[in-house]
Amino acid sequence: MNSTQRVAIVTGAAQGIGEAIALRLEQAAANVVVVDLNLTLAETVAARLRTSGRRSLAIHCDVSQASQVSEMVGRVLREMGRVDVLVNNAGIAGKNAPLADVTEEDWERVMAVDLKSVFLCSKAVLPYMMEQRYGKIVNVASIAGKEGNPNLVPYSTAKAGVIGFTKALAKEVVGHGIHVNCVTPAVIETPILKSLTREQIEYMASRIPMGRVGRPEEVA
């Protein structure tokens, strides 16, 4: 991608995989918008990106809330002038528990952050991408969405939904010059691991040919 003057929005970009993606996009000469609930960390990442001379903006946004997503995209357009790339990376693992112990609230929270946010953010940027007949949307799912992880039913279900969403939307908008893709990492060394047990981490790592937990920059 020739990303000169391109503007990329990365959600959940204050740390982990999102931060690594933001840094990688900056290396490709994109102007990156760092979106996260943690504005302090987001500002730190944006400041680091600006040291290269690129433009970068940090925005606090709950990407599971339509009004906040609309405000976020509106601000990007006002201050950055365009939006060319969207990386839907924000996500949570949710409660580590068998389904019998998962509450409706637990379920809805994971669905909102991991799946609904992908719908809201994609829907918000599509009109502008379609108008300029250019856009790249990348959704960060998980191997859990393909294989299913025990004691993480909501997370596995939401990530499977992200994969299905990606396939359907890609076919819908390709004629408008917009490409939609999905990456499905296995277990990656990020703060989300704190919500998992050692047994779960070892189980997932044992299924990786390299025999170890992945690093954020390897996903980026």
Note the pLDDT of residue 218.
63
- The percent of residues in the chain predicted with pLDDT above 90, rounded, is 78
For residue 1, pLDDT beyond 50: no
pLDDT digits (tens, 9 = 90+) for 94-119: 999 999 999 999 999 999 999 999 99
79, 98, 198, 201 from 186: Cα distances, Å:
36, 20, 15, 10
Average pLDDT score over residue span 44-52: 96
Which fold does the domain 7-219 belong to in CATH?
A: Rossmann fold (3.40.50)
Round to whole Å and give the CA distance between 142 and 184: 4
Average pLDDT score over residue span 117-132: 98
Structure tokens, 44:
């730190």
The question of whether 203 is a catalytic residue gets the answer: no
| Domain range annotation of the chain | 7-219
Q: Which of the residues 128, 134, 155, 203 is marked catalytic?
A: 155
For residue 204, pLDDT beyond 80: no
Note the pLDDT of residue 44.
98
pLDDT digits (tens, 9 = 90+) for 51-70: 999 999 999 999 999 999 99
